[in-house]
Each structure stands twice: as C-alpha cells, then as structure tokens.
Amino acid sequence: MLKLIAAAALLGATPAAAEVVTKPSPHTVDVTADRLAAAAGDAGATVVARVDHAAAAEGAGMVIPGATLLIFGDPQVGTPVMQEDLRAGLVLPLRVLVHEADGSASAVTYQTASDLFAGLDVDPSGEAAARIDGALDNLTNSAVAD
C-alpha cells in the first residue's frame, strides 16, 4: 500500500508547463541562428555550442524540421546566478532554439529566467534574472528583426 501511495505522489509531482517565449522570424533557421550568434557576440557573450538537431536526426536516419540550438553565455551575467545557487550551472549557459515554424520562415524559442531557475535558490525577481530576461529579449529581437 505504501508503494502505491508513493507512486501516486510521484505521478502528481509532474512539473508545470515550461514558461517559454516564441518569436516568429522572417528568416530561415540558418540565417536566424547566424543573426542570433552575431548579436550574442556583439553583446559580449560567447557562443559555446551550436547544435543542429535536424542534421543529427538525419544522421540517425530520421527526419525532423529544421532546428538549431544555440548555447551562449557571459560570465558577467551568469556567475552572479551561480553564486546564488551553483546548481544553476544545469541551465547555464543560456539556450535558444531556432526552428522551422508555421506562418513564418522560422522562430526562436527560449525559457524565461523564472522558469530556468524554478526549484533553485535563485531569486526570480532579482537583478541577475532580470538581466538574463532582458538579454534574451534583446538578442532574440535582433535575430528576428527584418
């Protein structure tokens, strides 16, 4: 009986839906990703990785729509968050998915700071979280601008 109660508690503990922002882009996935990488670099961030999910799927003999994940960060922004809670390293550096989208050539999608840091000892209304949300908003706006 105790195992059944524990299993029911685990089933009820599913996380809430992620708080994500999606912005349409008039550019292709590759162009939008290039523009995002350039905007991040211009802002002083470093692009740590660029993951082409569609190419990886193709290499495995499968097909998905165009999707590229950019991982980037700036220690001046991320380090204060990790000083609050080192576990923030699980979600930093930041990630933005550039993907094919209905109604536009592509779109950018990212999680807000409050979602990224849910369950961590990071103040979601603090200065570091606000800087991250502002940076993600500004960088993605640059990537999707005409």
Is residue 100 in a domain?
yes
What tens digit of pLDDT does each residue of 22-42 get? 999 999 999 999 999 999 999
What tens digit of pLDDT does each residue of 78-108 get? 999 999 999 999 999 999 999 999 888 999 9
Enumerate residues 6+ apart whose C-beta is below 8 A from 44: 74, 76
Q: What whole-number distance in Å separates Cα of residue 68 and Cα of residue 52? A: 4
Question: Is residue 125 predicted with pLDDT exceeding 60?
Answer: yes
CATH number of the CATH domain containing 31 = 3.30.310.70
Question: Is residue 141 predicted with pLDDT exceeding 90?
Answer: yes
What tens digit of pLDDT does each residue of 45-70 get? 999 999 999 999 999 999 999 999 99
The model's pTM: 0.85
Domain membership of residue 26 as a residue range = 19-144
Is residue 135 in a domain?
yes
